[in-house]
């Protein structure tokens, strides 16, 4: 049926939106069936009611403060969202478009109200889609930032590794070329000179040369090991079954010659074989004794103890000297770390304890230290008994 065959009353009543005519004070003069069905009241029930009485409390406040003044001032409002109370007390949300018209009998407000169910659903779906898109964008941004951080960290790690490798290569070059060859010449020359008849003064001087050469040799060994650790190769060991007590006793005898001013004592506990790299353990004992000579009280004995327990071997070196400060204990085994400054001839570049720990860990063990006024300073290296 075409629209020209429908009378105005039918068009009004069956319009696809709610239509309401009110006085300026909101009194409903007329409403169509669409609005009546949507709000749950009959047309006769609506007639005479104030439109704002159909609104929620918030809607009434909004009507009084916003859209009713706008209707009076500018003569129209568009797409005002309102919550109306259905006859069964549920809330019905509608969009309102209104115009104010002047008539001979007075001004009236003509209102058109549209249901928002489909629009609300669309807006919710649109909002959800937007949230999902924002979440994906956030994840993408976070992933890109994490990738950037990882790349930066990787670059820093690479640069650090490059510096370490360069440093290690320089150290190896210095030790092998600038120190080792001249040291060999010095030791050979002092050995040759010591074979002849010498005065007491000359013999003493040759002894000092030999001691200095031995000290330099220990420093070179530490530097070489340090370079290996820094370049990432680590300290290699070749363990074999040994008599720990006999080995430590021989090492102490050799160290008595290297440190004639120190009183070196050896104590042993337990029995049985142990598996370790003899050269490396001798290096441990030498470094710990050198450290004790440098920082301990030489008027008191330095005690080297070898101990065999049920599951591990322990080598410890005790000296009596100043107590190590607590702040220094935390970094004592770091490279280039020394105790209090001293003028001792046996003081090294600060790698001895670092090398001791690296050798211990290469054996699957570790090193510990305690320092007190009553018990002195004790460095203990332990490693599993193991098998050859």
Is residue 178 pLDDT above 50, yes or no? yes
Edge-to-edge strand list for the sheet holding 91-103: 28-31, 18-23, 106-115, 91-103, 76-85
Question: Which tens digit of pLDDT belongs to each residue from 187-223?
Answer: 777 777 777 777 887 777 777 787 777 777 767 777 6
Q: Give me the DSSP letters along 57-120.
A: HHHHHHIIIIIHHHHHHHSEEEEEEEEEE-TTS-EEEEEEEEEEEEETTEEEEEEEEEE-HHHH
pLDDT confidence bin for 343, thresholds 50/70/90: very low
- pLDDT of res. 228: 66
**Inter-residue contact 243 to 273 (CB < 8 Å):** yes
Model confidence at 387, pLDDT cuts 50, 70, 90, reads low
Query: Residue 35: what pLDDT?
Result: 92
Q: CA 359: distance to chain centroid?
A: 29
What is the average pLDDT across 320-338? 81
Mean pLDDT of 292-296: 90
The number of C-alpha atoms within 13 Å of 115 and in the hemisphere containing its C-beta is: 15
Q: What is the DSSP letter of 263?
A: -
**pLDDT tens digits along 162-173:** 887 777 666 665
The domains located in the chain, with CATH, are 3-115 (3.30.450.20), 122-229 (1.10.287), 235-384 (3.30.565.10)
By three-state DSSP, how is residue 242 classified?
A: strand
Q: What is the mean pLDDT of residues 89-111?
A: 90
Mean pLDDT of 307-331: 90
63-95 residue pLDDT tens: 899 888 988 899 999 988 889 999 999 999 999
Q: How far apart are the C-alpha atoms of 84 and 248, rounded to whole Å?
A: 98
Q: What is the pTM of this model?
A: 0.50
pLDDT exceeds cutoff 70 at 293: yes
The size of the chain, in residues, is: 388
- Mean pLDDT, the chain, integer: 84
Q: φ, ψ for residue 336 (rounded to 5)? A: 65, 30
Q: What is the pLDDT of residue 182?
A: 72
- Percent of the chain topping pLDDT 90: 36
- pLDDT of res. 346: 47
Whether the pLDDT of residue 119 is over 60: the answer is: yes
Q: pLDDT tens digits, residue range 27-70? A: 999 999 999 999 999 999 999 999 999 999 998 998 899 888 98
Q: What is the pLDDT of residue 337?
A: 63
306: helix, strand or coil = strand
């Amino acid at each position: 049926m075409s629209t020209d065959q429908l009378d105005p009353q039918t068009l009004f009543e069956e319009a696809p939106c709610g239509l309401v005519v009110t006085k300026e004070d909101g009194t409903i003069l007329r409403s169509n069936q669409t609005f009546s069905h949507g709000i749950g009241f009959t047309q006769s029930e609506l007639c005479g009611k104030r439109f704002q009485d159909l609104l929620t409390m918030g809607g009434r406040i909004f009507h009084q403060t916003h859209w009713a003044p706008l209707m009076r001032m500018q003569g129209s409002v568009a797409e005002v969202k309102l919550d109306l109370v259905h006859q069964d007390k549920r809330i019905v949300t509608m969009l309102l478009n209104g115009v104010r018209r002047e008539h001979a009998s007075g001004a009236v407000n003509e209102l058109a109200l549209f249901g928002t169910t489909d629009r609300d659903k669309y807006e919710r779906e649109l909002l959800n889609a937007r949230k999902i898109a924002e979440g994906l964008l956030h994840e993408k941004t976070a992933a890109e930032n994490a990738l950037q951080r990882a790349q930066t960290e990787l670059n820093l790690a690479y640069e650090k590794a490059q510096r370490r490798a360069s440093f290690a290569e320089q150290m190896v070059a210095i030790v092998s070329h600038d120190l080792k060859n001249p040291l060999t010449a010095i030791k050979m020359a002092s050995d040759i000179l010591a074979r002849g008849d010498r005065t007491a003064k000359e013999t003493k001087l040759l002894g000092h040369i030999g001691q200095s050469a031995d000290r330099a040799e220990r420093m070179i060994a530490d530097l070489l090991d340090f370079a290996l650790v820094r370049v990432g190769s680590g300290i290699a060991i070749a363990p074999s079954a040994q008599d720990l007590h006999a080995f430590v006793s021989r090492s102490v005898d050799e160290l008595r010659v290297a440190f004639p001013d120190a009183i070196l004592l050896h104590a042993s506990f337990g029995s049985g074989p142990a598996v370790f790299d003899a050269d490396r353990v001798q290096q441990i004992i030498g470094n710990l004794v050198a450290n004790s000579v440098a920082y301990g009280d030489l008027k008191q004995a330095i005690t080297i103890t070898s101990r065999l327990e049920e599951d591990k071997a322990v080598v410890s070196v005790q000296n009596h000297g100043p107590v190590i400060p607590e702040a220094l204990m935390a970094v004592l085994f770091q490279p280039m770390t020394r105790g209090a400054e001293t003028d001792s001839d046996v003081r090294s570049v600060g790698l001895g304890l670092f090398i001791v720990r690296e050798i211990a860990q290469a054996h699957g063990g570790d090193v510990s230290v305690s320092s007190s006024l009553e018990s002195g300073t004790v460095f203990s290296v332990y490693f599993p008994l193991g098998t050859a």
